[in-house]
Amino acid sequence: MSYLTGLAAPAKGDCLFCSLPLQPDEDALIVFRGATAYVVLNRFPYTNGHLMVVPFAHRADLSGMAPEERREMIELGARAESALREEYHPHGLNLGLNIGRSAGAGIADHAHLHVVPRWDGDTNFLTVASGSRTVPEELPVTRRRLAARFASA
């Protein structure tokens, strides 16, 4: 997919989630910017519309966040839920944080909330079979659709 060829990796030792807000929203796939956190598409989504709510500040876990950062993460998670329901009509959603590498965090030192739309039968068998996932829509298209939903909320 074209979004992979344009993926700019942060410099060694730099945090991806700290560097994304420095890029234009379209390039970084940022859907919405709040006061203390932003909503971004996962470049390697589990399903179409897989969003993450990420604090601007580099925080490893919830206990390291200020109360207003935790509140906004939950508020933006709720907005993401609404936007996904309105735009994609999933049958369900998974919302969750993976705190620490042993809990499954790919970027363990910058906490983020996953918001994953789910449909009956979306087993993602290709992940098991070949380590890859397929989604039916290019990420820039998904970003435009969801950014419009956030703007209208």
Task: Confirm whether pTM is higher than 0.85.
Answer: no
- CA atoms 7, 10, 15, 21: torsion sign: negative
Domain ranges of the chain: 16-147
Write the DSSP assignment of 36-81 as a string of letters: SEEEEE-SS-SSTT-EEEEESS--SSGGGS-HHHHHHHHHHHHHHH
Token pair listed for 148: 């419009």
What is the predicted pLDDT for the residue at 124? 57
* Amino acid, res. 25: D
Q: Which of 24, 38, 118 has the alpha carbon at shortest distance from 79?
A: 38
* Amino acid, res. 145: R
Catalytic positions are: 112
pLDDT in tens, 110-153: 999 999 999 998 865 445 444 555 667 889 999 999 999 999 87
pLDDT values of the chain reduced to their tens digit, one per residue, 153 residues: 343 334 444 454 689 999 999 999 999 999 999 999 999 999 989 899 999 999 999 999 999 999 999 999 999 999 999 999 999 999 999 999 999 898 888 899 999 999 999 999 886 544 544 455 566 788 999 999 999 999 987
Location of structure tokens 């998904």: 142
- CA atoms 38, 39, 41, 47: torsion sign: positive
What is the predicted pLDDT for the residue at 134? 60
Instruction: Tell me if the domain spanning 16-147 has CATH number 3.30.428.10.
Output: yes
What is the predicted pLDDT for the residue at 133? 58
